Structure 1
Amino acid sequence: MTFRTLLTITGPNQGEGDLKLAASLCEQIDAHLSVLVLELAAPPSGGEYAVVLSPAWLEERQADLKRLKKRISEVVAFVSQADVSADLSDDYPDTAWADEIIGRRARYADLAILGPDLLASHTLKDKVIEGVLFSSGRPLLLVPEGSRPTLKPKRVLVAWDARLESSRALRESLDLLIGAEEVHIAIIDPVEDEYHHGAEPGADAAAFLARHGVKVTVDRLPSSNHSVADVLRRHAVDTAADLMVMG
Protein backbone atom coordinates (compact mmCIF):
# COMPACT_ATOMS: atom_id res chain seq x y z
CA MET A 1 0.00 0.00 0.00
CA THR A 2 1.01 3.63 -0.47
CA PHE A 3 1.83 5.48 2.73
CA ARG A 4 0.07 8.86 2.82
CA THR A 5 -0.12 9.46 6.59
CA LEU A 6 2.65 8.66 9.08
CA LEU A 7 1.99 8.68 12.82
CA THR A 8 4.53 9.34 15.55
CA ILE A 9 3.90 9.34 19.29
CA THR A 10 5.76 11.54 21.75
CA GLY A 11 5.73 12.30 25.46
CA PRO A 12 6.90 15.05 27.83
CA ASN A 13 10.32 13.51 28.47
CA GLN A 14 11.36 13.33 24.82
CA GLY A 15 13.25 15.71 22.57
CA GLU A 16 12.84 16.48 18.89
CA GLY A 17 14.73 13.46 17.56
CA ASP A 18 11.74 11.28 16.76
CA LEU A 19 9.77 14.25 15.43
CA LYS A 20 12.60 15.14 13.04
CA LEU A 21 12.85 11.50 11.99
CA ALA A 22 9.14 11.23 11.23
CA ALA A 23 9.11 14.58 9.41
CA SER A 24 12.08 13.55 7.26
CA LEU A 25 10.34 10.31 6.29
CA CYS A 26 7.23 12.30 5.38
CA GLU A 27 9.33 14.59 3.19
CA GLN A 28 10.90 11.56 1.54
CA ILE A 29 7.57 10.19 0.30
CA ASP A 30 5.42 13.36 0.36
CA ALA A 31 3.26 12.11 3.23
CA HIS A 32 1.25 13.83 5.96
CA LEU A 33 2.61 13.79 9.53
CA SER A 34 0.27 13.00 12.40
CA VAL A 35 1.59 13.51 15.95
CA LEU A 36 0.01 12.11 19.11
CA VAL A 37 1.26 13.68 22.35
CA LEU A 38 0.70 11.49 25.40
CA GLU A 39 1.25 11.69 29.12
CA LEU A 40 0.41 8.48 30.96
CA ALA A 41 -1.66 8.94 34.11
CA ALA A 42 -1.08 6.74 37.13
CA PRO A 43 -4.34 5.47 38.68
CA PRO A 44 -5.17 6.55 42.24
CA SER A 45 -3.53 4.13 44.67
CA GLY A 46 -6.72 3.39 46.60
CA GLY A 47 -9.17 3.06 43.73
CA GLU A 48 -11.77 5.58 42.59
CA TYR A 49 -12.44 6.94 46.11
CA ALA A 50 -8.79 7.92 46.45
CA VAL A 51 -9.49 10.84 44.10
CA VAL A 52 -11.16 12.53 47.04
CA LEU A 53 -8.85 11.18 49.72
CA SER A 54 -5.41 11.68 48.15
CA PRO A 55 -4.20 15.27 47.70
CA ALA A 56 -0.81 13.88 46.64
CA TRP A 57 -2.42 12.10 43.68
CA LEU A 58 -4.25 15.27 42.68
CA GLU A 59 -0.99 17.22 42.82
CA GLU A 60 0.70 14.57 40.69
CA ARG A 61 -2.11 14.79 38.17
CA GLN A 62 -1.79 18.57 37.95
CA ALA A 63 1.96 18.22 37.42
CA ASP A 64 1.31 15.66 34.65
CA LEU A 65 -1.11 17.99 32.89
CA LYS A 66 1.36 20.86 33.16
CA ARG A 67 4.08 18.71 31.52
CA LEU A 68 1.64 17.63 28.83
CA LYS A 69 0.69 21.23 28.06
CA LYS A 70 4.37 22.19 27.80
CA ARG A 71 5.08 19.28 25.47
CA ILE A 72 2.12 20.19 23.28
CA SER A 73 3.51 23.72 22.94
CA GLU A 74 6.91 22.31 21.94
CA VAL A 75 5.36 20.04 19.31
CA VAL A 76 3.20 22.85 17.94
CA ALA A 77 6.34 24.96 17.54
CA PHE A 78 8.13 22.11 15.77
CA VAL A 79 5.21 21.33 13.45
CA SER A 80 4.79 24.99 12.51
CA GLN A 81 8.39 25.03 11.24
CA ALA A 82 8.29 21.66 9.49
CA ASP A 83 8.18 21.42 5.70
CA VAL A 84 5.33 18.89 5.74
CA SER A 85 1.60 19.03 6.34
CA ALA A 86 0.83 17.93 9.88
CA ASP A 87 -1.83 17.56 12.55
CA LEU A 88 -1.56 17.14 16.31
CA SER A 89 -3.69 15.42 18.92
CA ASP A 90 -3.13 14.80 22.62
CA ASP A 91 -4.45 12.64 25.43
CA TYR A 92 -3.93 11.89 29.11
CA PRO A 93 -5.03 8.26 29.50
CA ASP A 94 -4.57 5.91 32.42
CA THR A 95 -1.57 3.71 31.71
CA ALA A 96 -3.81 0.63 31.51
CA TRP A 97 -5.80 2.14 28.61
CA ALA A 98 -2.97 3.83 26.71
CA ASP A 99 -2.56 1.05 24.13
CA GLU A 100 -6.24 1.35 23.16
CA ILE A 101 -5.95 5.15 22.80
CA ILE A 102 -2.82 4.76 20.65
CA GLY A 103 -4.40 2.02 18.55
CA ARG A 104 -7.51 4.07 17.93
CA ARG A 105 -5.42 6.96 16.66
CA ALA A 106 -3.18 4.70 14.56
CA ARG A 107 -6.21 3.43 12.63
CA TYR A 108 -6.20 6.72 10.74
CA ALA A 109 -2.56 6.44 9.65
CA ASP A 110 -0.90 4.18 7.10
CA LEU A 111 2.23 3.61 9.18
CA ALA A 112 3.33 4.33 12.75
CA ILE A 113 6.95 5.29 13.48
CA LEU A 114 8.72 4.20 16.66
CA GLY A 115 12.04 6.03 16.82
CA PRO A 116 15.08 5.83 19.13
CA ASP A 117 13.73 8.33 21.69
CA LEU A 118 10.53 6.38 22.14
CA LEU A 119 12.39 3.06 22.19
CA ALA A 120 14.24 4.34 25.26
CA SER A 121 10.95 5.12 27.04
CA HIS A 122 10.06 1.66 28.28
CA THR A 123 6.45 2.10 29.43
CA LEU A 124 5.36 4.27 26.52
CA LYS A 125 7.32 2.12 24.06
CA ASP A 126 5.46 -1.00 25.18
CA LYS A 127 2.11 0.76 24.93
CA VAL A 128 2.87 2.00 21.41
CA ILE A 129 3.90 -1.46 20.20
CA GLU A 130 0.84 -3.11 21.76
CA GLY A 131 -1.53 -0.39 20.59
CA VAL A 132 -0.37 -0.23 16.99
CA LEU A 133 0.01 -3.96 16.42
CA PHE A 134 -3.02 -5.24 18.32
CA SER A 135 -5.50 -2.34 18.41
CA SER A 136 -5.06 -0.71 15.00
CA GLY A 137 -4.07 -3.34 12.45
CA ARG A 138 -1.51 -0.91 11.02
CA PRO A 139 2.18 -1.60 10.37
CA LEU A 140 4.86 -0.27 12.70
CA LEU A 141 8.33 0.91 11.66
CA LEU A 142 10.94 0.38 14.40
CA VAL A 143 13.97 2.65 14.07
CA PRO A 144 16.80 1.71 16.45
CA GLU A 145 19.54 4.10 17.50
CA GLY A 146 22.25 4.57 14.87
CA SER A 147 20.20 3.30 11.91
CA ARG A 148 19.46 5.21 8.71
CA PRO A 149 15.74 4.82 8.14
CA THR A 150 14.25 5.12 4.69
CA LEU A 151 10.90 4.44 3.07
CA LYS A 152 12.65 4.06 -0.28
CA PRO A 153 14.91 1.09 0.53
CA LYS A 154 17.17 -0.43 -2.10
CA ARG A 155 17.59 -3.79 -0.37
CA VAL A 156 14.88 -5.42 1.74
CA LEU A 157 14.90 -8.59 3.82
CA VAL A 158 11.53 -10.29 4.33
CA ALA A 159 11.26 -12.70 7.27
CA TRP A 160 8.80 -15.31 6.02
CA ASP A 161 7.15 -18.16 7.94
CA ALA A 162 4.03 -18.63 5.74
CA ARG A 163 1.61 -17.58 8.50
CA LEU A 164 -1.17 -15.02 8.25
CA GLU A 165 0.94 -12.39 10.00
CA SER A 166 3.75 -12.78 7.47
CA SER A 167 1.31 -12.60 4.59
CA ARG A 168 -0.17 -9.40 5.95
CA ALA A 169 3.25 -7.81 6.44
CA LEU A 170 4.15 -8.73 2.87
CA ARG A 171 0.99 -7.10 1.54
CA GLU A 172 1.36 -3.94 3.67
CA SER A 173 4.93 -3.43 2.45
CA LEU A 174 4.25 -4.19 -1.21
CA ASP A 175 4.91 -0.67 -2.51
CA LEU A 176 8.28 -0.61 -0.74
CA LEU A 177 9.19 -4.01 -2.17
CA ILE A 178 8.20 -3.00 -5.70
CA GLY A 179 10.49 0.02 -5.50
CA ALA A 180 13.46 -1.91 -4.11
CA GLU A 181 16.37 -3.06 -6.24
CA GLU A 182 16.70 -6.34 -4.37
CA VAL A 183 14.37 -8.31 -2.07
CA HIS A 184 15.39 -11.41 -0.13
CA ILE A 185 12.78 -13.75 1.37
CA ALA A 186 14.43 -15.42 4.35
CA ILE A 187 12.98 -18.74 5.54
CA ILE A 188 14.56 -20.39 8.57
CA ASP A 189 14.37 -24.19 8.94
CA PRO A 190 11.41 -24.46 6.53
CA VAL A 191 9.02 -27.39 6.87
CA GLU A 192 8.18 -28.87 3.47
CA ASP A 193 4.54 -29.92 3.73
CA GLU A 194 1.10 -28.62 2.79
CA TYR A 195 0.45 -27.27 6.29
CA HIS A 196 3.54 -25.05 6.40
CA HIS A 197 5.68 -23.89 3.46
CA GLY A 198 4.54 -26.31 0.74
CA ALA A 199 6.70 -28.55 -1.40
CA GLU A 200 9.08 -25.71 -2.31
CA PRO A 201 9.38 -23.29 0.64
CA GLY A 202 9.18 -19.65 -0.41
CA ALA A 203 8.23 -20.36 -4.02
CA ASP A 204 4.62 -19.21 -3.69
CA ALA A 205 5.58 -16.00 -1.87
CA ALA A 206 8.26 -15.29 -4.46
CA ALA A 207 5.84 -15.89 -7.33
CA PHE A 208 3.30 -13.53 -5.74
CA LEU A 209 5.91 -10.78 -5.46
CA ALA A 210 7.34 -11.42 -8.92
CA ARG A 211 3.92 -10.86 -10.48
CA HIS A 212 4.03 -7.38 -8.96
CA GLY A 213 7.42 -6.73 -10.51
CA VAL A 214 9.46 -7.34 -7.37
CA LYS A 215 13.03 -8.52 -7.93
CA VAL A 216 13.02 -11.35 -5.40
CA THR A 217 15.34 -14.11 -4.19
CA VAL A 218 14.45 -16.91 -1.76
CA ASP A 219 17.03 -17.71 0.92
CA ARG A 220 16.42 -20.93 2.91
CA LEU A 221 18.52 -20.71 6.06
CA PRO A 222 19.37 -23.28 8.75
CA SER A 223 19.21 -22.04 12.32
CA SER A 224 22.17 -24.22 13.36
CA ASN A 225 21.15 -23.93 17.03
CA HIS A 226 20.95 -20.12 16.83
CA SER A 227 17.80 -18.15 17.62
CA VAL A 228 15.62 -16.92 14.77
CA ALA A 229 16.44 -13.34 15.76
CA ASP A 230 20.17 -13.99 15.52
CA VAL A 231 19.86 -15.68 12.13
CA LEU A 232 17.78 -12.82 10.74
CA ARG A 233 20.13 -10.21 12.18
CA ARG A 234 23.14 -11.90 10.62
CA HIS A 235 21.40 -12.32 7.26
CA ALA A 236 20.34 -8.67 7.26
CA VAL A 237 24.01 -7.75 7.57
CA ASP A 238 25.05 -10.26 4.91
CA THR A 239 22.52 -8.88 2.42
CA ALA A 240 23.18 -5.22 3.40
CA ALA A 241 19.44 -4.79 3.98
CA ASP A 242 18.10 -1.25 4.44
CA LEU A 243 14.84 -2.60 5.88
CA MET A 244 13.49 -5.80 7.39
CA VAL A 245 9.83 -6.74 6.93
CA MET A 246 8.27 -9.23 9.32
CA GLY A 247 4.94 -10.11 10.84
Structure 2
Amino acid sequence: MKTTLIPLILAALLAPLPASAMDVIKGEILQGWVRPDGNRVAAIRMTMAPGWKTYWRAPGDMGIPPHFDWAGSTNLSAVAVEWPAPTVFREENLTTIGYKDQVVLPLVITTPQKGAPVRLQTTIDLGVCLDVCVPAQLHLDGIIDTDATRAEPAIAAALAQRPYSAQEAGVTKATCTIRFNNGDLELETAITLPDTGGPELVVIETGQPDLWISEADTTRHGGTLTSRVDVAHSTGGPIALNRSHIRMTVFGSKHAVDIRGCTPG
Protein backbone atom coordinates (compact mmCIF):
# COMPACT_ATOMS: atom_id res chain seq x y z
CA MET A 1 0.00 0.00 0.00
CA LYS A 2 1.34 3.41 -0.92
CA THR A 3 1.38 6.01 1.83
CA THR A 4 -0.58 8.42 -0.39
CA LEU A 5 -3.60 6.17 0.12
CA ILE A 6 -3.60 6.66 3.90
CA PRO A 7 -5.65 9.93 3.92
CA LEU A 8 -8.23 8.34 1.60
CA ILE A 9 -8.59 5.30 3.84
CA LEU A 10 -8.94 7.45 6.95
CA ALA A 11 -11.56 9.62 5.28
CA ALA A 12 -13.62 6.54 4.46
CA LEU A 13 -13.28 5.15 7.97
CA LEU A 14 -14.29 8.44 9.59
CA ALA A 15 -17.54 8.81 7.69
CA PRO A 16 -20.49 9.90 9.89
CA LEU A 17 -21.97 7.16 12.04
CA PRO A 18 -25.43 6.20 10.74
CA ALA A 19 -28.21 7.01 13.20
CA SER A 20 -29.30 3.36 13.14
CA ALA A 21 -25.85 2.33 14.43
CA MET A 22 -25.65 4.77 17.36
CA ASP A 23 -26.75 2.10 19.83
CA VAL A 24 -24.72 -0.85 18.58
CA ILE A 25 -22.16 -0.64 21.40
CA LYS A 26 -22.61 -0.12 25.14
CA GLY A 27 -19.98 0.24 27.86
CA GLU A 28 -19.93 -0.28 31.63
CA ILE A 29 -17.36 -0.14 34.41
CA LEU A 30 -16.70 -3.28 36.49
CA GLN A 31 -15.53 -2.73 40.07
CA GLY A 32 -12.83 -5.38 40.33
CA TRP A 33 -10.65 -5.68 43.43
CA VAL A 34 -7.81 -4.16 45.47
CA ARG A 35 -4.33 -5.58 44.90
CA PRO A 36 -1.88 -6.28 47.76
CA ASP A 37 0.06 -3.12 46.82
CA GLY A 38 -3.07 -0.99 47.30
CA ASN A 39 -3.61 -0.33 43.60
CA ARG A 40 -6.78 -1.52 41.91
CA VAL A 41 -7.89 -3.85 39.16
CA ALA A 42 -11.11 -2.85 37.41
CA ALA A 43 -12.44 -3.30 33.88
CA ILE A 44 -14.51 -1.88 31.07
CA ARG A 45 -17.03 -4.23 29.51
CA MET A 46 -18.16 -3.38 26.00
CA THR A 47 -21.20 -5.15 24.56
CA MET A 48 -22.07 -4.90 20.88
CA ALA A 49 -25.23 -5.70 18.97
CA PRO A 50 -25.25 -9.20 17.42
CA GLY A 51 -22.78 -9.47 14.57
CA TRP A 52 -20.97 -6.20 15.34
CA LYS A 53 -17.31 -6.09 16.32
CA THR A 54 -14.78 -3.56 17.55
CA TYR A 55 -11.04 -3.27 17.16
CA TRP A 56 -8.00 -4.38 19.14
CA ARG A 57 -5.27 -1.85 20.00
CA ALA A 58 -3.59 -2.62 16.63
CA PRO A 59 -6.62 -3.08 14.37
CA GLY A 60 -5.02 -4.19 11.13
CA ASP A 61 -4.37 -2.47 7.83
CA MET A 62 -7.72 -0.63 7.64
CA GLY A 63 -8.98 -0.18 11.20
CA ILE A 64 -9.61 2.47 13.81
CA PRO A 65 -7.42 1.96 16.89
CA PRO A 66 -9.24 2.66 20.18
CA HIS A 67 -8.20 5.76 22.11
CA PHE A 68 -8.84 6.29 25.84
CA ASP A 69 -9.00 9.74 27.44
CA TRP A 70 -8.95 9.55 31.25
CA ALA A 71 -9.39 13.30 31.85
CA GLY A 72 -11.70 13.98 34.79
CA SER A 73 -10.65 10.89 36.75
CA THR A 74 -9.49 11.35 40.35
CA ASN A 75 -7.17 9.32 42.60
CA LEU A 76 -5.68 7.89 39.44
CA SER A 77 -2.09 8.45 38.32
CA ALA A 78 -1.83 5.72 35.66
CA VAL A 79 -4.00 3.18 33.85
CA ALA A 80 -2.74 0.11 32.03
CA VAL A 81 -5.21 -1.62 29.71
CA GLU A 82 -4.67 -5.39 29.68
CA TRP A 83 -5.84 -6.71 26.30
CA PRO A 84 -7.31 -10.23 25.99
CA ALA A 85 -6.14 -12.05 22.87
CA PRO A 86 -8.39 -10.83 20.03
CA THR A 87 -9.76 -12.61 16.98
CA VAL A 88 -8.14 -12.25 13.56
CA PHE A 89 -10.90 -11.62 11.01
CA ARG A 90 -9.73 -12.67 7.55
CA GLU A 91 -11.76 -11.44 4.60
CA GLU A 92 -10.91 -11.17 0.93
CA ASN A 93 -7.92 -8.80 0.61
CA LEU A 94 -8.47 -7.55 4.17
CA THR A 95 -7.39 -8.66 7.65
CA THR A 96 -8.68 -6.91 10.78
CA ILE A 97 -8.17 -7.73 14.45
CA GLY A 98 -10.69 -7.24 17.22
CA TYR A 99 -13.56 -8.55 19.32
CA LYS A 100 -17.06 -9.63 18.38
CA ASP A 101 -20.23 -9.28 20.48
CA GLN A 102 -18.56 -8.56 23.86
CA VAL A 103 -15.16 -7.89 25.39
CA VAL A 104 -13.92 -7.20 28.93
CA LEU A 105 -10.82 -4.99 29.06
CA PRO A 106 -9.10 -5.27 32.46
CA LEU A 107 -7.58 -2.07 33.87
CA VAL A 108 -4.67 -1.91 36.31
CA ILE A 109 -5.14 1.42 38.08
CA THR A 110 -2.34 3.10 40.02
CA THR A 111 -3.82 5.10 42.89
CA PRO A 112 -1.92 7.88 44.74
CA GLN A 113 -4.23 7.55 47.78
CA LYS A 114 -4.34 3.88 48.73
CA GLY A 115 -7.69 2.76 50.13
CA ALA A 116 -9.57 5.78 48.79
CA PRO A 117 -12.21 5.49 46.05
CA VAL A 118 -11.32 6.13 42.41
CA ARG A 119 -13.43 8.31 40.16
CA LEU A 120 -13.01 6.67 36.77
CA GLN A 121 -14.06 8.92 33.94
CA THR A 122 -13.16 8.12 30.35
CA THR A 123 -14.06 8.91 26.78
CA ILE A 124 -13.30 6.06 24.38
CA ASP A 125 -13.06 6.74 20.66
CA LEU A 126 -13.23 3.50 18.73
CA GLY A 127 -14.51 1.84 15.59
CA VAL A 128 -17.42 -0.59 15.26
CA CYS A 129 -18.01 -2.82 12.26
CA LEU A 130 -20.73 -4.85 10.62
CA ASP A 131 -20.76 -4.63 6.82
CA VAL A 132 -18.87 -1.32 7.06
CA CYS A 133 -16.71 0.15 9.81
CA VAL A 134 -17.64 3.46 11.41
CA PRO A 135 -16.40 5.51 14.39
CA ALA A 136 -18.19 5.54 17.74
CA GLN A 137 -17.63 7.14 21.13
CA LEU A 138 -18.34 5.91 24.66
CA HIS A 139 -18.51 8.15 27.74
CA LEU A 140 -18.15 6.25 31.02
CA ASP A 141 -18.15 7.66 34.54
CA GLY A 142 -18.18 5.69 37.77
CA ILE A 143 -16.87 5.41 41.33
CA ILE A 144 -14.69 2.41 42.14
CA ASP A 145 -14.80 1.93 45.89
CA THR A 146 -14.81 -1.81 46.50
CA ASP A 147 -12.61 -3.16 49.29
CA ALA A 148 -12.74 -6.70 47.90
CA THR A 149 -9.39 -8.45 47.51
CA ARG A 150 -10.74 -11.49 45.71
CA ALA A 151 -10.62 -11.50 41.90
CA GLU A 152 -13.88 -10.79 40.10
CA PRO A 153 -14.58 -13.77 37.77
CA ALA A 154 -15.30 -11.86 34.53
CA ILE A 155 -12.13 -9.77 34.90
CA ALA A 156 -10.01 -12.73 35.97
CA ALA A 157 -11.22 -14.64 32.89
CA ALA A 158 -10.24 -11.74 30.62
CA LEU A 159 -6.78 -11.56 32.23
CA ALA A 160 -6.36 -15.29 31.63
CA GLN A 161 -7.09 -14.73 27.93
CA ARG A 162 -4.08 -12.47 27.40
CA PRO A 163 -1.44 -13.67 24.92
CA TYR A 164 1.41 -15.72 26.34
CA SER A 165 4.55 -13.83 27.23
CA ALA A 166 7.72 -14.53 25.25
CA GLN A 167 9.06 -16.62 28.13
CA GLU A 168 5.84 -18.62 28.50
CA ALA A 169 5.77 -19.37 24.75
CA GLY A 170 9.40 -20.45 24.56
CA VAL A 171 10.75 -17.52 22.53
CA THR A 172 14.55 -17.76 22.46
CA LYS A 173 15.40 -14.90 20.10
CA ALA A 174 13.79 -11.85 18.48
CA THR A 175 15.70 -9.62 16.06
CA CYS A 176 14.77 -6.53 14.02
CA THR A 177 16.46 -5.45 10.80
CA ILE A 178 15.82 -1.93 9.47
CA ARG A 179 16.56 -1.15 5.81
CA PHE A 180 15.53 1.20 3.00
CA ASN A 181 14.11 -0.16 -0.26
CA ASN A 182 13.61 2.36 -3.09
CA GLY A 183 13.28 5.13 -0.53
CA ASP A 184 10.75 3.23 1.64
CA LEU A 185 11.64 2.05 5.15
CA GLU A 186 11.25 -1.68 5.76
CA LEU A 187 11.31 -3.44 9.10
CA GLU A 188 11.98 -7.18 9.21
CA THR A 189 11.60 -9.23 12.38
CA ALA A 190 12.82 -12.78 12.99
CA ILE A 191 11.39 -14.61 16.00
CA THR A 192 12.61 -18.01 17.14
CA LEU A 193 9.72 -19.81 18.84
CA PRO A 194 7.72 -23.05 18.61
CA ASP A 195 4.88 -23.22 16.09
CA THR A 196 1.75 -21.41 17.35
CA GLY A 197 -0.50 -23.08 14.78
CA GLY A 198 -0.91 -22.08 11.17
CA PRO A 199 -1.59 -19.84 9.47
CA GLU A 200 0.45 -17.51 11.68
CA LEU A 201 0.20 -13.73 11.64
CA VAL A 202 2.63 -11.27 13.22
CA VAL A 203 1.44 -7.77 14.16
CA ILE A 204 4.22 -5.23 14.71
CA GLU A 205 3.81 -2.07 16.78
CA THR A 206 6.44 0.66 17.11
CA GLY A 207 5.02 2.49 20.14
CA GLN A 208 4.68 5.61 18.00
CA PRO A 209 1.06 6.46 17.03
CA ASP A 210 2.18 8.77 14.20
CA LEU A 211 3.74 5.89 12.27
CA TRP A 212 1.80 3.77 9.78
CA ILE A 213 2.66 0.06 9.61
CA SER A 214 1.56 -2.19 6.76
CA GLU A 215 0.16 -5.67 7.25
CA ALA A 216 3.05 -8.06 7.78
CA ASP A 217 4.23 -10.52 5.17
CA THR A 218 4.92 -13.52 7.42
CA THR A 219 6.66 -16.81 6.68
CA ARG A 220 7.97 -19.65 8.85
CA HIS A 221 11.13 -21.61 8.18
CA GLY A 222 11.59 -24.30 10.81
CA GLY A 223 11.74 -22.66 14.22
CA THR A 224 11.96 -19.07 12.95
CA LEU A 225 9.03 -16.83 12.07
CA THR A 226 10.02 -13.96 9.78
CA SER A 227 7.86 -10.90 9.08
CA ARG A 228 8.36 -7.81 6.93
CA VAL A 229 6.42 -4.54 7.09
CA ASP A 230 6.63 -1.12 5.45
CA VAL A 231 6.83 1.86 7.82
CA ALA A 232 5.78 5.43 6.97
CA HIS A 233 5.19 8.63 8.91
CA SER A 234 1.54 9.74 8.77
CA THR A 235 2.58 13.31 7.91
CA GLY A 236 5.65 12.46 5.86
CA GLY A 237 8.10 13.35 8.63
CA PRO A 238 11.32 11.54 9.55
CA ILE A 239 11.22 8.10 11.15
CA ALA A 240 13.29 6.96 14.11
CA LEU A 241 12.72 3.45 15.47
CA ASN A 242 13.72 2.28 18.93
CA ARG A 243 14.11 -1.49 18.97
CA SER A 244 13.35 -1.67 22.69
CA HIS A 245 9.89 -0.18 22.01
CA ILE A 246 8.97 -2.53 19.17
CA ARG A 247 6.21 -4.95 20.13
CA MET A 248 5.43 -8.09 18.15
CA THR A 249 2.30 -10.17 18.66
CA VAL A 250 2.13 -13.58 17.04
CA PHE A 251 -1.33 -14.96 16.31
CA GLY A 252 -1.65 -18.67 15.63
CA SER A 253 -4.55 -21.11 15.65
CA LYS A 254 -3.39 -22.51 19.01
CA HIS A 255 -2.45 -19.35 20.91
CA ALA A 256 -1.05 -15.81 20.71
CA VAL A 257 2.32 -14.57 21.97
CA ASP A 258 3.31 -11.05 23.08
CA ILE A 259 7.01 -10.21 22.48
CA ARG A 260 8.44 -6.86 23.61
CA GLY A 261 11.68 -5.52 22.22
CA CYS A 262 14.16 -6.97 19.76
CA THR A 263 17.89 -6.95 19.10
CA PRO A 264 19.63 -5.87 15.87
CA GLY A 265 19.35 -8.49 13.13
TM superposition score category, shorter chain reference? under 0.3
Greater C-alpha radius of gyration: 1
When you count strand as a share of all residues, which structure comes out higher?
Answer: 2
* TM-score normalised by the chain length of structure 1: 0.24
